[in-house]
């Protein structure tokens, strides 16, 4: 844990000194359960090698969420507690599922080759760019930028 001004940096290293996986307990995997305070506005930067990420952030004020990963399964859910939320995902081979509230407008920018996409409820604006039908009228906006290759990308509205 390192503190710089109002920024707290927390690093989890899930490898031992000889670079083998750490076992938390016999029969248990390398799972991390993280609880956040609901009061601050969050800027989250997550760097994950291979693995699964499952975050329900719908009850938190998330302004910026950056996820960088290799081969992974990513499941994110964000809410509408701030006017503007930016989600930036960079991945290799991945399964990416993001849930956004219907009350917020949403824009998706997808960059990469050979990606399967499912953007139900979004209108294609141009190559790799999609918007929800309420983009010009909604108070809250979510921007999702995904840079990936060989991935399955789904954005659902709830």
- Both tokens of 19, joined, read 């670079």
pLDDT for residue 149: 86
User: Residues 142, 106: contact at Cβ < 8 Å?
Assistant: yes
Reply yes or no on whether the pLDDT at 43 is more than 80.
yes
The Cα–Cα gap between 123 and 110 comes to: 13
Of residues 10 and 13, the one with the higher pLDDT is: 10
pLDDT for residue 60: 97
Q: Are strands 7-9 and 116-118 parallel, antiparallel or unpaired?
A: unpaired
Burial-class residue 21 by CB neighbours within 10 Å (0-12, 13-18, 19+): exposed
Across the chain, mean pLDDT equals 87
The Cα–Cα gap between 145 and 7 comes to: 24
pLDDT for residue 12: 64
Give 93's strand partners: none
pLDDT for residue 138: 94
pLDDT for residue 20: 46
The Cα–Cα gap between 77 and 1 comes to: 26
């Amino acid at each position: 844990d390192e503190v710089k001004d109002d920024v707290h940096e927390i690093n989890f290293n899930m490898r031992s000194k000889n670079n083998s996986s750490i076992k938390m307990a016999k029969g248990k995997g390398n799972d991390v359960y993280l609880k956040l305070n609901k009061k601050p506005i969050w800027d989250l930067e997550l760097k994950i090698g291979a693995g699964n990420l499952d975050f329900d952030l719908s009850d938190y004020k998330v302004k910026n969420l950056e996820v960088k990963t290799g081969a992974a399964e990513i499941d994110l859910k964000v809410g509408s507690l701030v006017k503007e939320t930016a989600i930036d995902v960079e991945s290799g081979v991945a399964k990416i599922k993001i849930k956004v509230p219907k009350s917020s407008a949403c824009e998706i920018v997808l960059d990469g080759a050979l990606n399967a996409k499912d953007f139900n409820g979004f209108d294609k604006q141009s190559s790799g760019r999609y918007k929800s039908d309420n983009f010009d009228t909604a108070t809250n906006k979510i921007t999702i930028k995904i840079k990936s290759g060989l991935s399955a990308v789904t954005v659902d509205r709830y």
